Amino acid sequence: QDIQIPPDQERCWITIVYDAYERSKGSSIKTMHLIAPNDYIVKLWTDALNVVSRERIEIMNALSANPEKSERSMRMAWKQATSRKNPDAEPKIDFEDAKWICRKLEINCSINTIRTHFNHADHDLVGELNYSQYQYFVNLFKIRKDVQSLYYGIKRSDEPELSQEAFLEFLRKEQHIDVEKDRASWENKFELYCRSASGKTTDRQVPPTMNLQAFQTFLSSGSNGATASIKSDPTLDRPLNEYFISSSHNTYLMGRQVAGLSSVEGYISALVKGCRCIEIDCWDGKNGLPIVNHGRTLTTEVMFEDCIAVISRYA
């Protein structure tokens, strides 16, 4: 409606919302509007974008506890990083490549953390990592010290890994779960996470044990959910305030709350991520026109009309 595209061209209209972090000085969320000449070209574009989207999702599994998914994701990121270099040189990555890979794998941490892990992996002190060192580098991000402390606190000192009995005892004492009510189910879950982390079939003659990686995966899984499982389909007939809704606070702000930038791009970013509750702080502006900003602060302002137009387009 805003761009006034003729009705006969609407079916050939494509809008791509993308992130251009490396080439953006301000907000990295951008939009590109395209009009294809015919339905066939639209299908080619949408099919290609779906392939890119699936590959993007798959490459974000580098920190997965599943060995196969993690390895496949790491190989994809490695191939993309090294393909940007001289094809005749031995495939290696430097620190700048490591930062690029972390962003590609959605590993969000400080530059200092990346540098620390990179230096740990750079055993040769040459400023570059080969593939095995790169694997070690990525795996360092999987370690959570809080979970590590908990794991070694409940593991028996005379056992190399967490036994089934120690695991069930943890569920009873720490998680306050009535294990005996469904012991077989918890034993099956224990074996499932043991197999998933090891990547191989458990020898039935040897009792399975749970390593740190498997324990960490269990803690963050649905098997260890904070809420009771609902076996029946929800009816969704309760008042709206009784539901959890993906919400956004100070949606228009791109930076600090005292002197930051206000922009309609905040609404675009929140809505394309699935947010369904946004905030519009509306104030009286000049010439009787309403504005949006963090009231009585030094934040910049954006027109209320522009915010509503963007919300109408992306909600």
Q: Could you list the active site residues?
A: 249, 294
Q: Are 141 and 107 in contact (CB under 8 A)?
A: yes
Name residue, tokens 């370690």: 143
For residues 292 and 280, the answer to whether their CB atoms sit within 8 Å is yes
| Residue 102 buriedness (CB in 10 A; 0-12 / 13-18 / 19+) | buried
What's the chain's length in residues? 315
Q: 212-219 vs 183-198: helix axis angle to the nearest 10? A: 120
Asked if 105 contacts 139 with a C-beta cutoff of 8 angstroms, the reply is no
Tokens representing residue 280 in the block: 């519009």
Residue 29 sits at the vertex; the CA angle it makes with 39 and 72, to the nearest 5 degrees, is: 80
Could you tell me which of 194, 223, 218 has the C-alpha nearest to residue 207?
Answer: 194
Q: Which residue has the tokens 């002190």?
A: 125
Position 279, amino acid: E
Using CA atoms, how far apart are residues 95 and 91, in angstroms rounded to an integer?
14
